Amino acid sequence: METFFPYFLTGIISFTVGFLLKHVYPKAKVVWWSSHSFWFNVPEGDRIITIFTHAITIQNLGRKPAENIEIIHKAKPDHFKLEPPLNYQEDQTPSGEHIIRISNLSSKSFFTIEFLSYLSLPELLYIHSKDGEAKSIRIQPQQVLSKNWKAFAQLMYWIGLCFTFYWLIRAIIFVSQNVF
């Protein structure tokens, strides 16, 4: 039994390293959210023109650059603009969907696409990159706190974490002394 243990241990370590190499390497993680949308009713003489504005922000949260990002709409939006300005290409599928292609987006970078529509509403179908479909995330505006409040919150976090670990270790010691 003792002669097989080193081989068994080598197999477990090899499997663990292989698993980690496959699942922990840097990846691109593209997410998107809609930051606003608004309808305007603009009087034009004796009629009213309805204008729709909205924006989507696309960000790469991964540690590797995202390549070949595609934003696909059911039809071409009336007007759109990228901020910050990026090189992009427009294309159309044989069935008429409109594609905006961005060649790459570095790690932790983002851009916003602002839309202005008055003839047809831009219906977003999906966003994806070379690494897969982008995930839609929910956002909420948040008040920006001062540096002092941030430092205080971090201090409270670390005190709470250390306190939790201290009592967890104390509980393990208590159980090991009284049960075993």
User: Is the pLDDT confidence value at 80 over 90?
Assistant: yes
pLDDT band at residue 26 under the 50/70/90 scheme? confident
Pairing relation of β-strands 66-73 and 98-105? antiparallel
pLDDT at residue 2, rounded to an integer: 59
Per-domain residue ranges of the chain: 30-136, 143-180
pLDDT band at residue 12 under the 50/70/90 scheme? confident
- Cβ neighbours of residue 89 closer than 8 Å, sequence gap 6 or more: 100, 101
Mean pLDDT of 159-174: 93
Which region, left, alpha or beta, applies to residue 68 given φ > 0 means left and ψ of -120 to 50 means alpha?
left
Please give the CATH superfamily to which domain 30-136 belongs. Answer: ntegrin, alpha v. Chain A, domain 3 (2.60.40.1510)
Mean pLDDT of 93-119: 93
160 strand-pairing partners: none
Query: Can you give the pTM of this predicted structure?
Result: 0.72
pLDDT at residue 11, rounded to an integer: 86
pLDDT tens sequence across 37-52: 999 999 988 999 899 9
DSSP 11-68: HHHHHHHHHHHHHSS----EEEEEEEEEEEEEEETTEEEEEEEEEEEEEE-SSS-EEE
pLDDT at residue 23, rounded to an integer: 77
Mean pLDDT of 121-129: 91
Mean pLDDT of 171-177: 88
pLDDT at residue 170, rounded to an integer: 92
**What separation in angstroms does the CA of 174 have from each of 65, 91, 92, 177, 180?**
49, 67, 68, 5, 10
pLDDT at residue 68, rounded to an integer: 95
Work out the number of other CB atoms within 10 angstroms of the CB of residue 172. Answer: 10
